[in-house]
Structure 1
Amino acid sequence: MQPKARHAYLPGLATLLVTAVAGCSGGGGDGGSAADPKPGSSITATAAAPGKYRTLREPCGAVPRSLLRELLPGAASLPEEQQAKVYGGTAAVTYDTDRRVGCSWKADGAVASHQLVIDLERVVSYDPAVSDDQRAQEVYGKQETAAALPTPSGGSAASPSSTPAGSPPASGSATDPGAEDPDTGTNTDTDTDTGTNPNTTAQTGSSAPAVPSGGPSGSPSETPPAEGLEPRLLDGLGDAAFLDDILARSGSAAQHRTVSVVFRTSNVIVTVRYTEQPALTTAVPDSRELQDKARGLAKRLAEELDE
């Protein structure tokens, strides 16, 4: 009688095991979630497209020596060894050279001193619903707003070329002033994506920070640039661009003029700052010349990014 009782028990145990396995695997199709998705809803989020640029080039080699000779005329009178040091530039110290790079050059001459600073930032969005390009638009828009470009004569005030209509807000954008960068945990009110201040990233090798695009140290001159040379939006340079031109005086020193050209190409924002300070306190730097040189360099950098 014992063998029969044993055979009768085993099929019952097998049925119980099959039922248990079926119950455990029945909800496995949705990754074990407690609730099934609503009919017709999508369970897969589509990540925004990444930016065009994944890396940045070495900045101090971005400006050829032939162009540096034009931008830094005072270096021509220096001994060859010192010329090589001036033209070699000083690389900015950044946390991640795939995210932000910069370089600065400075030369003092008998007639005037010149300083050149370039800054390249590759913007990355940490929100899967916001593309790198959209995030870069927001970062660029903040800089354009900070420049406080004057209202064009006979037109409306220049509006920042930031996020287009219908685009979702990104973390750390102008509409989210207290947000933190989800990657670094740092507040993004003054930092954009890298934890560095764009106005102090590129250094000149001295204790003084680079001149910010919003205006150099000292009080701006009351004399505005000539007509057609005012701070303004620029066409034909990247996806969006603007130019700022500020004449200022620091203490008893000569007036110095800083021309800044900022442009965005996809998810990269480039800033060119070119400053001239004459040796004579009565001399005034020529706005048109500085603007032409700064725009020429910005155009060259934009073309190199497109290559």
Structure 2
Amino acid sequence: MQRRARTYLTGVALAVMLSGGLTACTGSPEDEGGEDTKAGSSGAPDSSAPPGRYRTLPEPCGAVDLSTLKKLLPDAEGAPQGSSTPGKGTASGDEESPYEGQPIATYDTDRRAGCRWKSTNSLATRNLTVDFERVVSYDPAVSDDEQAQLLYDERAGQAEIPTESEPPADEEGGEGGDPADEGGKSGSGGSGEDGGSEAADSGTDGKGGGEGGGDPGGEGEKSDSGGGSDASEEPGGEPSPSSDADLSPRTLDDIGDNAYIDDQLDTGDSGVHRDITLVFRSANVIATVTYDQWLTDKRRTPDSAELQEKARSVAEELAADFDDN
């Protein structure tokens, strides 16, 4: 009996020891796993950038008010009418209005959308183009807004317009001379790894919006001041603003998150025309307004101040709509 009792007690003791060991073994990985999960959870969400504010784009042909279009495009109702899409410029009745605009074909209207308008009379041809691009970052460490900023800086650099991200000129070059000048030019491209080709495409699209004839991308010089006075003589034109205003290509502080305006005058064989390009960023959307005027009289030049003011009025209207959404 004593031998059986000792055997029984020994078996019980072994069972208790084994169960305790198993509990300790199974408990340890859970504790360690909890620490790893916490460490991982603290790092992963922080490294993922937030999505952009805008998931869709407005309908571009309906984005500009009719009253604004009539100011920018005098005599548009007398111009040849093409295909159009109803928008803010829709006229009453069954006839299509040239103020409805012509949509620009894109593969995905949630990522890229545009519209163009045209006005022609005996003195001049005017073209207005509006382009929207919603920027999406595929790098989890870079937000959509940050990617849009990189693309905006790239385009501003291509237009040779200084941006906040560019270092001062005295920090870019070496000890002077031609190498420093070349370095400054090469550094004006801004940043952004994948924005170069898109920026080039956008510039082509913006200039290509003009249908007044010739090649808008021909050789020309950036204008530092307004030239000509055709606006007051052209039917529907308006007096130009004061000549004291700064008309050089520059950044703008009161449109969207970032904005710049570029002004180019071309007096080549294709015709005399002035092209105004205003680009602004609102969160993860980049909007481009291109407004140009072609003159039939090559002895005169389009008025820079008037064209800039009208392009700016369109951009301010579009930026306000983005702010409201």
Report the TM-score when normalising by structure 2.
0.66
| Structure 1 equivalent of residue 202 of structure 2 | 198
Query: Which of 243, 257, 264 is residue 281 of structure 2 equivalent to?
Result: 264
Report how far residue 98 of structure 1 moved.
1.8
1:86 aligns with 2:98: yes
Instruction: Give the direction of change, closer, same or farther, for the CA distance of 1:52–1:161 in structure 2 (3 Å limit).
Output: farther
Does the CA-based 8 Å contact 1:74-1:112 persist in structure 2?
Answer: no
The CA distance in 1 between the partners of 2:116 and 2:82, in whole Å, is 18
Letter in 1 for 2:59: E
Instruction: Give the direction of change, closer, same or farther, for the CA distance of 1:79–1:114 in structure 2 (3 Å limit).
Output: closer
Report how far residue 268 of structure 1 moved.
1.6
Does the CA-based 8 Å contact 2:155-2:190 persist in structure 1?
Answer: no
Does the CA-based 8 Å contact 2:222-2:263 persist in structure 1?
Answer: no
Letter in 2 for 1:209: G
Matches within 5 A, 1:27-176: 29=34, 42-46=42-46, 47-78=48-79, 84-149=96-161, 159-162=162-165
Instruction: Give the direction of change, closer, same or farther, for the CA distance of 1:143–1:161 in structure 2 (3 Å limit).
Output: farther
Does the CA-based 8 Å contact 2:103-2:116 persist in structure 1?
Answer: yes
Does the CA-based 8 Å contact 1:124-1:135 persist in structure 2?
Answer: yes
Does the CA-based 8 Å contact 2:148-2:285 persist in structure 1?
Answer: yes
Instruction: Give the direction of change, closer, same or farther, for the CA distance of 1:80–1:66 in structure 2 (3 Å limit).
Output: farther
Letter in 2 for 1:138: L
| Structure 2 equivalent of residue 184 of structure 1 | none
Letter in 2 for 1:287: S
The CA distance in 2 between the partners of 1:300 and 1:71, in whole Å, is 13
Does the CA-based 8 Å contact 1:241-1:264 persist in structure 2?
Answer: yes
| Structure 2 equivalent of residue 220 of structure 1 | 220
Report the TM-score when normalising by structure 1.
0.69
Does the CA-based 8 Å contact 1:99-1:123 persist in structure 2?
Answer: yes
Report how far residue 42 of structure 1 moved.
4.0
Q: Residues 177-207 of structure 1: CA distance to partner in whole angstroms, max 9, x if unpaired?
A: 4xxxxxxxxx653136xxx9223446xxxxx
Instruction: Give the direction of change, closer, same or farther, for the CA distance of 1:258–1:29 in structure 2 (3 Å limit).
Output: same
Count of residue correspondences: 261
The CA distance in 2 between the partners of 1:232 and 1:120, in whole Å, is 21
| Structure 1 equivalent of residue 322 of structure 2 | 305
Report how far residue 64 of structure 1 moved.
2.1
SS in 2 for 1:145: helix
Instruction: Give the direction of change, closer, same or farther, for the CA distance of 1:161–1:90 in structure 2 (3 Å limit).
Output: farther
| Structure 2 equivalent of residue 293 of structure 1 | 310
| Structure 1 equivalent of residue 296 of structure 2 | 279
Does the CA-based 8 Å contact 1:92-1:201 persist in structure 2?
Answer: no
Query: Which of 230, 253, 272 is residue 235 of structure 1 equivalent to?
Result: 253
Paired-residue identity, %: 39
- Structure 2 residue ranges without an equivalent (≥5): 1-10, 84-94, 168-188, 227-243
Does the CA-based 8 Å contact 1:137-1:162 persist in structure 2?
Answer: no
Report how far residue 144 of structure 1 moved.
1.0
The CA distance in 2 between the partners of 1:14 and 1:222, in whole Å, is 86
Does the CA-based 8 Å contact 1:242-1:262 persist in structure 2?
Answer: yes
Does the CA-based 8 Å contact 1:136-1:266 persist in structure 2?
Answer: yes
User: Which one has a larger percent helix, Structure 1 or Structure 2?
Assistant: 2
Instruction: Give the direction of change, closer, same or farther, for the CA distance of 1:201–1:78 in structure 2 (3 Å limit).
Output: closer
SS in 2 for 1:290: helix
Instruction: Give the direction of change, closer, same or farther, for the CA distance of 1:223–1:147 in structure 2 (3 Å limit).
Output: closer
Q: Residues 191-224 of structure 1: CA distance to partner in whole angstroms, max 9, x if unpaired?
A: 36xxx9223446xxxxx9336xxx9422214864
Instruction: Give the direction of change, closer, same or farther, for the CA distance of 1:22–1:67 in structure 2 (3 Å limit).
Output: same
Report how far residue 122 of structure 1 moved.
1.8
The CA distance in 2 between the partners of 1:190 and 1:79, in whole Å, is 34
The CA distance in 2 between the partners of 1:200 and 1:81, in whole Å, is 22
- Structure 1 residue ranges without an equivalent (≥5): 1-7, 150-158, 165-172, 178-186, 203-207
Q: CA RMSD in A?
A: 3.8
The CA distance in 2 between the partners of 1:276 and 1:127, in whole Å, is 41
The CA distance in 1 between the partners of 2:104 and 2:24, in whole Å, is 66
Report how far residue 60 of structure 1 moved.
0.5
